[in-house]
Structure 1
Amino acid sequence: MGQTKSQFTVEELQDYQDLTYFTKKEVLYAHQKFKALAPEKVGHNKNAKLSMSKMLQYPELSVNPFGERICKVFSSSQDGDCTFEDFLDMMSVFSPTAPKSVKAEHAFRIFDFDGDDMLGVSDLKQVVNKLTGENKLSEGEMGMLLHNILEEADLDDDGSLSFAEFEHIIDRSSDFLNSFCIRL
């Protein structure tokens, strides 16, 4: 009654449930959302890979100033193209049920543009520029803002933020869990 044939075996669905913060029903719903981005490509091919431009058509990614960066961080090929498993991992981390520590780890990776495991001045500038969009700060405003960020958060005074320092900021942010969320 009302059952449709799934592209996934019972074992695959169980694995996806075990490896994410989703129920089997939510995994199937996530697959519907992924398939809707390119039905002609995904169709019955559960191993299809969608280009970053297709991924950015997902409504929550299309309006997010970090959409491209999010795709690159979650892409197993690190080029922004995503398989369903990449998409499922992304949606799981952004789900309301993902723990704060997992969200913080991924937020740090998204903000670490140069991939050096530190949020340096150039990373922080890029974050600020993404957040301000068209309302770019002047050199002086940017300098002052970066100085204030580092003054407040750079506990070891090395001119950049480690993951531990970033996590300290996240712990003090009451809105982080709500803002780092995408509902399926």
Structure 2
Amino acid sequence: MGQGRSQFTEDELLNYQDLTYFTKKEVLQAHRKFKALAPEKVGHNKNAKLPLAKLLHYPELSVNPFGERICEIFSSSQDGDCTFEDFLDMMSVFSESAPKSVKAEHAFRIFDFDGDDMLGVSDLKKVINKLTGDNKLNESEINMLVQNILEEADLDDDGSLSFAEFEHITDISSDFLSTFRIRL
């Protein structure tokens, strides 16, 4: 029937515990969740890599407008396909135990669509479009929102948000920690 032994050695579990914000028990729980997304593929293969389409069946990712982007950011191959270690990193950063600074760093990377280490106008427009989904705003409404964001957060008036400016916004945001979370 059920196998009582983990496919991870005690050393592997200790390493995962050291490299994440998880206990050994939570690492095993994350692996069960990963395996449940594609039991036929993961099975006893610790090195299995799940395609983006399978990962997006994870409940919190399936309803998140940034689900695909989140997987791309945590994917070691940067294509959205994830190994268990990629998945574990993602779940660790989104856990309640991860510090706010780590969450802010990853949120910034998720929103930095063009990868230039700044949240420029095009990045902010993409964020707004993802957040509004089917309730599309017209171009002038989007431009107005972008201008409001930049007026509020662009402290050096360079027309984009640096990580420091973004982190400042997350620091004063009362709900950032509660919204940047995925439960195991």
Q: Distance in 1 between matches of 2:48 and 2:64?
A: 24
- DSSP 3-state at the match of 2:161: coil
- What is the CA distance between 1:160 and its match in structure 2? 0.4
RMSD: 1.0
Q: What residue in structure 1 maps to residue 91 of structure 2?
A: 91
1:49, CA displacement in angstroms?
0.1
How many residues matched? Answer: 183
- TM-score w.r.t. the length of structure 2 is 0.98
The alpha carbon displacement at 1:131 in A equals 0.3
**For residue 153 of structure 1, what is the aligned residue in structure 2?**
153
Structure 2 gaps, min length 5: none
Percent identity, aligned pairs only, is 83
**Structure-1 residue corresponding to 2:179:** 179
> Partner amino acid for 1:169?
I
Question: SS in structure 2 opposite 1:104?
Answer: helix
Does residue 34 (structure 1) correspond to residue 34 (structure 2)? The answer is yes
How far does the alpha carbon of each residue in 1:106-162 deviate from its partner, in whole angstroms, 9 at most, with x for none? 000000000000000000000000000011111111111111110110011110000
Matches within 5 A, 1:116-131: 116-131=116-131
Distance in structure 1 (CA, Å) of the matches to 2:47 and 2:22: 20
Matches of 1:143 and 1:108, distance apart in 2: 20
Shift in Å at residue 4 of structure 1? 1.0
Please say which of residues 133-142 and 18-27 is displaced more in the overlay: 133-142
Q: What is the TM-score of this pair, normalised by structure 1?
A: 0.98
The Cα of 1:39 is off from its aligned counterpart by 0.3
Give 5+ residue unaligned stretches, structure 1: none
For 1:107 and 1:26, how far apart are their aligned partners in 2?
A: 23
CA distance in 2, matches of 1:62, 1:145: 26
- Aligned letter for 2:33? K
* Residue 12 of structure 2 is aligned to residue 12 of structure 1: yes
Looking at structure 2, the residues matched to 39 and 56 of structure 1 have their Cα atoms a distance apart, in angstroms, of 15
Please state how far the C-alpha of 1:3 moved relative to its aligned partner: 7.7
**Distance in 1, Cα, partners of 2:29 & 2:145:** 42
Give the C-alpha shift of residue 175 in structure 1: 0.2
Matched AA of 1:65: P
Deviation, structure 1 residue 5 = 1.0
Q: Deviations over 1:15-67 (max 9, x none)?
A: 00000010000000100000000000000000000000000011110000000
Matches within 5 A, 1:106-145: 106-145=106-145
**Structure 1 segments (4+ residues) deviating >2 Å:** none
| Aligned-partner residue type, residue 45 of structure 1 | N
Q: 1:101 — aligned with what? A: 101
Letter in 1 for 2:36: A
How far apart in 2 are the matches of 1:45 and 1:37? 14
Q: Using the alignment, how far apart are the partners of 1:122 and 1:150 within structure 2? A: 12
Report the counterpart of residue 22 of structure 1 in structure 2.
Answer: 22
Q: Matches of residues 58-77 of structure 1 in structure 2 within 5 Å? A: 58-77=58-77
Measure, in 2, the Cα distance between the counterparts of 1:97 and 1:51. Answer: 27
CA distance in 2, matches of 1:183, 1:111: 21
